[in-house]
Amino acid sequence: MSKPIILTGDRPTGKLHIGHYVGSLRNRVLLQNEGKHDMFIFIADQQALTDNAKNPEKVRQSVGEVALDYLAAGLDPEQVTLFIQSQIPELAELTMYYMNLVSLARLERNPTVKTEIAQKGFGESIPAGFLVYPISQAADITAFKANFVPVGNDQKPMIEQTREIVRSFNHTYQADVLVEPEGIFPENEAAGRLPGLDGNAKMSKSLGNGIYLADDFDTVQKKVMSMYTDPDHIRVEDPGKIEGNMVFHYLDVFGREEDQATIAEMKEHYQRGGLGDVKTKRYLLDVLDRELSPIRERRLELAKDMGEVYNMLAKGSEKARTVVAKTLDEVKDAMGINYFK
Ligand code: TRP
Residue minimizing CA distance to atom 13 of ligand 1: 8
| Ligand 1 pocket residue status of 149, Cβ below 6 Å | yes
Report which of 215, 234, 233 is spatially closest to residue 224, judged by C-alpha positions: 215
189 pLDDT band, cuts 50/70/90, is low
Q: What burial class does residue 192 get, using C-beta atoms within 10 Å of its C-beta: 0-12 exposed, 13-18 middle, 19+ buried? A: middle
Model confidence pLDDT, tens digit, residues 72-127: 999 999 999 999 999 999 999 999 999 999 999 999 999 999 999 998 888 889 99
Contact call for residues 151 and 6 (beta carbons, < 8 A): no
Q: Are strands 182-184 and 148-150 parallel, antiparallel or unpaired?
A: parallel
DSSP 273: S
pLDDT cut 90: percent of the chain above it: 91
pLDDT score of 234: 92
Contact call for residues 195 and 248 (beta carbons, < 8 A): no
DSSP 17: B
pLDDT score of 193: 80
The full set of domain ranges for the chain reads 5-194+306-335, 217-300
Architecture of 5-194+306-335 per CATH?
3-Layer(aba) Sandwich (3.40)
Question: Is the predicted pLDDT of residue 187 greater than 80, yes or no?
Answer: no
| Ligand 1 pocket residue status of 159, Cβ below 6 Å | no
Tell me if the pTM is above 0.85: yes
| Ligand 1 pocket residue status of 84, Cβ below 6 Å | no
Q: Is 203 annotated as a binding residue?
A: yes
Report which of 341, 339, 338, 335 is spatially closest to residue 98, judged by C-alpha positions: 335
Architecture of 217-300 per CATH?
Orthogonal Bundle (1.10)
Query: Which residues, other chains included, contact 286 with Cβ-Cβ below 8 Å and sequence gap of 6+?
Result: none
CATH topology identical between 5-194+306-335 and 217-300 = no
Model confidence pLDDT, tens digit, residues 205-237: 889 999 999 999 999 999 999 999 999 999 999
Distance CA 1, CA 195 (A): 41
Question: Is the predicted pLDDT of residue 338 greater than 90, yes or no?
Answer: yes
Q: Is 114 annotated as a binding residue?
A: no
Strand partners, 84: 43
Question: Is the predicted pLDDT of residue 180 greater than 70, yes or no?
Answer: yes
